[in-house]
Structure 1
Amino acid sequence: MSTLLFILLALVGLPLFVVLGAAALTATREAQLDPALLMVEFARLAASPNLVAIPLFVLAGAVLGQGGAPKRLVRFFNALLGWMPAGIAWVAVLTCMVFTAFSGASGVTILALGGLLYPMLKHEDYPDKFALGLITAGGSMGLLLPPSLAVLLYGVVAQVDIGDLFVAGLLPTALLFVMVGGYALLRGARGAPRHHFRLRELALAARAGWADLLLPVGVIGGLAGGYLTVAELAACTALYALLLETLIHREINLKQLVWVAHEAAVLVGSLFIILGLSLGLTNLLIDAQVPMHLLEWVQAKVTSPLEFLMWMNLALLAVGCMMDIFSAIVIVTPLLLPLATHFGIHPVHLGIVILANLEIGYLTPPVGINLFLASQRFKRPVLAVFRATLPFLVVLLVWLMVLTYVPGVSLWGLG
């Protein structure tokens, strides 16, 4: 009965850390345990070598978002790809992907880039419905690219090498880029004008945005080459972003920097509270042998890895449309890991599939958050936004099936 009550409270909007805290305290009381046991997970988190990477990457993304990075990225990708058929659509997809990786939150992408990309698409005679759907769906792409906070969080919870996860996300993201761009080429670019390639504009755009473009390259190179640990790379990334926006481009002054740091601290604080409480609650579930009972039930009902992945996808899509991605990661990962291990599914493959599902959940009714953010940003009814996004949702679901049933797409970098 109490479990249903907590689920209902979460669905009606009570802050998740309050729900998790109340659930954990209730569970300790029913098990006649000392509630101080919940604090053990906070101590373990504090000792985690990868923990410090989260606030540093969040700060870097917040600084880049507040600075001029979105405009510089749009200008560069437009100069690079704008001459292609459906060039502006390719620009919109790629810019959304890169900026989502920087910011760590898909909703930020819609709010920050919507005002830039939506008018560009309309100016190029793209259908209004197509432009609205592309920008809304674009906010759900790029969460597998470094230095994505979602990937970091999964790595901490699942205790999987974060460098392997970042490398694993490159090919799936490239595949999604081609699939969405291909749909734009076939469907959205009818009547859209073609532009001439201008080397001078590309050179000017590259000169303005080269430092932003080097950031993801440096993150991938540092991790894949083993030159830096995740924590060291996060520190370098935060310092790089601060120097870039305050001293080189001078887009952020001291007063704005204080506000940016405050916003990043609020996000990080909420994440740490949710993470610590959810892991404490997970320990209680393990003590009560809930994962073992779940494993026994799955073993009785599910006979193959493919069947398990199918049911897991359906469950994760439901979770993704009702819960933010960070909360979902820390709650579902400890439950799914032992099941995936039983069926021989690699934890890196599992992580990519979990994150892909939760990405799609942003666009899934009834409470897909990107639908509401786009509705607010573009002053359109939520139903109209969903209808515009539906073709892109179908493309994302096909992409999810490829990632799920072709493990090599995720495991290509592991040898």
Structure 2
Amino acid sequence: MSQIGFRRTRLEWFSSLPACLLLLAVVLFSTSSDIHNQMLRAGEQMWGSYYKLRSDPVQPSCNPNRDIEAAVQQELAESGASDDPMAALLGAHEKDPADVRLAIERSVADCQASFASYENLKDKLTPSVKAYRAVELFVADLIAFGLESQRYILVILVMLCAVTATLSRHHIAMRAMETRLDYTVSHTLQTIANAMLLGSSVIFRQSSMGDETTMSAEALLLHNLWIIGFACLTLASLYRLFRVPDDLRDGGSLNKAFLAVPLYTVMCLISGTYFVLIGHASGIGIYLGKMMELADMFLNVGLYVWVGMMLKQTRLATLVFDVFRPWRMPPEMLAVVAVLVAAVPTAYTGASGIFVIAAGAVIYGELRAAGARRHLALAATAMSGSLGVVLRPCLLVVVIAYLNREVTTDELFGWGIWVFVLTAIMFMTVALTVNRQSKFNLAPSAEAFPAMMQALRPLIPYALVIAGVVLLYRFALDVRMDEFSAPRLLPVIMLAILLFEHVTLKKTAGRASEAPSHQGMESSLRSATNDTTSEIGALLLLLGLSVSIGGVIERSQIMEVFPQAFDSAWSAMLLMVVILVILGMIMDAFGAVILVTATVSTIAYSSGIHPIHFWMVTLVAFELGYLSPPVALNHLLTRQVVGEAEVLAAQQEGGTFYQRHERIIMPLIAMGISLVLVAFVPLLFYA
């Protein structure tokens, strides 16, 4: 075995396999809740009052054969019902014998009913009930364990994948490391930042233990996991610093070297320095700890990335593009179709950046195979996730509704459809009119339509597999496919598709003319998880430090410089647009939503901007920010998944200024016009 192969195998055992098990555990724990609900319902239908049988019945302590007459006399005697005049003088209260008798008769009747219920339950507690109960209680304990373990799973997953991303040089930066100077500067600053994260976590742990309240064992374990994780991350970056790869060339520029520093490192150095200067060294640790409050959301992000990496291992995307190939569309039109089709899976992955990581390489490869020029393919890939974030069941919209009582998911998704139509029309207009370099010579419908219908046939089995999983959850577990269930259904759907391809393509693996080669279920899942670990490490660490940057903005009270309310909704909206686009440039979607909820949203509401309108503007402004230099996060993610060589090749192409920068300018024009229309046109009707 070669040294590279040995390193890859070792990385799979110590990184990919644990990450795969953690992600499967998240799916299992979330699904076990649905299974448990159905088990309770089934137990109730089979035995009736099953909830009473979940524990052994306890024999009542009362006496069902109590002598009522004797009890009445004793009660009257104890209450002072006597003819003695001295008792009356001492204030003794006489009870009505009829009332006493009635109360005791009811007490005896209740006791007898309790005994009857006890005997009935004891008779129902058959061996089959006990066996069923043992399984049901095990599932209940599994759910409780899963809910308690979410935070620990998240910490372990983040740290494990972050170390993997460090060792594989996969963190998100403005440019790749090309020279030894780039490498040295990047890993030196990474080591400093990681040491800063470690120190902040240690200080946070010590300050928490110094509080008057006793720290729980769970909180102490969480602190220790953060410390161990950052210690490993620091050692990993230090190891990388002294193990310089041989494929880097000498020389380099210091300015370019700083651009090779990962974004999470820059965010860490900025926020860490700020917190140290204000005497709050534990600040980063505190804000990273806030990730635990939304542990399920960040775990869902990891699941979505895993789903995307599994999608890349299937033939599904290629088969979808095959449906449109018979029309012989020009590259610009095919790019529009790709972005529109990508809106649906984007809605199921939660944010545009997640989708670019998950499926960007597939979209870029298919567009290039169809003849699209590099700049156009890069622009479409970067924007492929920007249109679907307003559609149901996008996780980002669910988080907005969760954090803001002024809006609901139904309201946001309802208006999101119109925003999607607008942004789609804008992108279509820009792509098909500005700098169009191809002629519209579509194939005749008589020729293209039959071929398209023929290309739809291979997709039918995939649709049946997807429908089968959805219907299984619907009827077996009473779970509908929506914004809440999608994170746990999609991994199961993709695993089912991988299994389907493994079974069907394996049969014809030896006949290359009939079916493409297939690497198998185990190999596909392993490859998908290998890609997932690095991507999750790069993305979740960036999300965590983005929350820390939000803490810097919040604590520095920058927003207090602005008026807390504007007399004009138009002036307020203009300011909101600028602020939201800037936040989109420097923060991830989830961290930015948390910050906007705590600061900007109140100013907008007080200035007369409708909450639904404000959040629609926020979503579009964020997407414009992710496509805007100098950071342009979606373009960075695009470069990460398609490869540095493709981006460099595009930059070396000639042409007009627009042609040389089409991958940046085209999305800016489309989303910029959309943002202006979404922000200001509705004000004409209610401001």
**TM-score, length-scaled by structure 1:** 0.70
> Is 1:404 matched with 2:652?
no
Q: Which residue of 2 aligns with 1:368?
A: 632
Selected match of 1:235 from 469, 480, 488: 488
| Rounded Cα–Cα distance in structure 1 between residues aligned with 2:339 and 2:388 | 13
| Rounded Cα–Cα distance in structure 1 between residues aligned with 2:431 and 2:571 | 32
Change (3 A) 1:308 1:118: farther
Q: Which moved more, 1:102-111 or 1:168-177?
A: 102-111
| Rounded Cα–Cα distance in structure 1 between residues aligned with 2:485 and 2:588 | 28
Deviation sequence 1:104-148 (CA, Å, 0-9, x none)? 3336655322222134245xxxxx598457535643533414555
Q: How far 1:238 moved relative to its partner?
A: 1.9
Change (3 A) 1:11 1:74: same
Matched pairs, number: 383
Q: Which residue of 2 aligns with 1:380?
A: 650
| Rounded Cα–Cα distance in structure 2 between residues aligned with 1:167 and 1:263 | 35
Change (3 A) 1:345 1:76: farther
Deviation sequence 1:280-309 (CA, Å, 0-9, x none)? 7767876x593xx72563237x43222222
| Rounded Cα–Cα distance in structure 1 between residues aligned with 2:627 and 2:288 | 35
1:261 is matched by which residue type in structure 2?
A: T
1:405 is matched by which residue type in structure 2?
A: F
Selected match of 2:526 from 248, 258, 266: 258
How do residues 5-404 of structure 1 correspond to structure 2 at under 5 angstroms?
A: 13-16=261-264, 19-20=267-268, 23=271, 27=275, 30=278, 38=287, 41-46=290-295, 52-78=299-325, 87-98=333-344, 100-101=346-347, 104-106=354-356, 109-122=359-372, 131=376, 135=380, 138-139=383-384, 141-144=386-389, 145-146=391-392, 148=394, 150-151=396-397, 154=400, 161=408, 165-186=412-433, 188=436, 191-197=439-445, 198-209=448-459, 211=462, 227=480, 230-248=483-501, 253-268=521-536, 272=540, 279=547, 290=557, 294-295=559-560, 297-299=562-564, 302-325=566-589, 328-371=592-635, 373=639, 376-377=645-646, 379-381=649-651, 385-387=660-662, 389-404=664-679
Highest CA radius of gyration, 1 or 2?
A: 2
Deviation sequence 1:381-409 (CA, Å, 0-9, x none)? 1875424652452232111112222459x
Q: How far 1:338 moved relative to its partner?
A: 2.4
Change (3 A) 1:271 1:398: same
| Rounded Cα–Cα distance in structure 1 between residues aligned with 2:530 and 2:553 | 35
Change (3 A) 1:118 1:67: same
Change (3 A) 1:115 1:151: same
| Rounded Cα–Cα distance in structure 2 between residues aligned with 1:130 and 1:268 | 27
Q: How far 1:72 moved relative to its partner?
A: 2.1
| Rounded Cα–Cα distance in structure 2 between residues aligned with 1:151 and 1:371 | 23
Maintained 8 Å contact 2:331/2:370: no
**5+ residue gaps in structure 1?**
1-5, 123-127, 409-415
| Rounded Cα–Cα distance in structure 2 between residues aligned with 1:357 and 1:186 | 24
Maintained 8 Å contact 1:158/1:333: yes
Q: Which residue of 2 aligns with 1:413?
A: none
Q: How far 1:243 moved relative to its partner?
A: 0.7
Maintained 8 Å contact 1:78/1:91: no
Maintained 8 Å contact 2:383/2:667: no
2:523 is matched by which residue type in structure 1?
A: K
| Rounded Cα–Cα distance in structure 2 between residues aligned with 1:324 and 1:388 | 21
Change (3 A) 1:307 1:401: same
Change (3 A) 1:213 1:91: farther
1:380 is matched by which residue type in structure 2?
A: A
Deviation sequence 1:14-35 (CA, Å, 0-9, x none)? 4427734873696388466976
1:113 is matched by which residue type in structure 2?
A: I
Maintained 8 Å contact 1:52/1:231: no
Change (3 A) 1:117 1:148: farther
Change (3 A) 1:407 1:358: same
| Rounded Cα–Cα distance in structure 1 between residues aligned with 2:465 and 2:670 | 29
Change (3 A) 1:274 1:161: farther
1:19 is matched by which residue type in structure 2?
A: M
Change (3 A) 1:166 1:58: farther
2:452 is matched by which residue type in structure 1?
A: L
2:312 is matched by which residue type in structure 1?
A: G
Q: Which moved more, 1:305-314 or 1:158-167?
A: 158-167
2:494 is matched by which residue type in structure 1?
A: A
Please give the secondary structure, in 2, of the residue aligned with 1:341.
helix
Maintained 8 Å contact 2:306/2:358: no
Change (3 A) 1:359 1:27: same
Which structure carries more relative contact order (alpha carbon 8 Å, separation 6+)?
1
2:578 is matched by which residue type in structure 1?
A: L
Deviation sequence 1:55-96 (CA, Å, 0-9, x none)? 3333223322332232122123446x7679975354233244
Change (3 A) 1:200 1:214: farther
| Rounded Cα–Cα distance in structure 1 between residues aligned with 2:668 and 2:553 | 34
User: How much identity, in percent, do the aligned residues show?
Assistant: 21
Maintained 8 Å contact 1:106/1:139: yes
| Rounded Cα–Cα distance in structure 2 between residues aligned with 1:151 and 1:349 | 13
Q: How far 1:239 moved relative to its partner?
A: 0.9
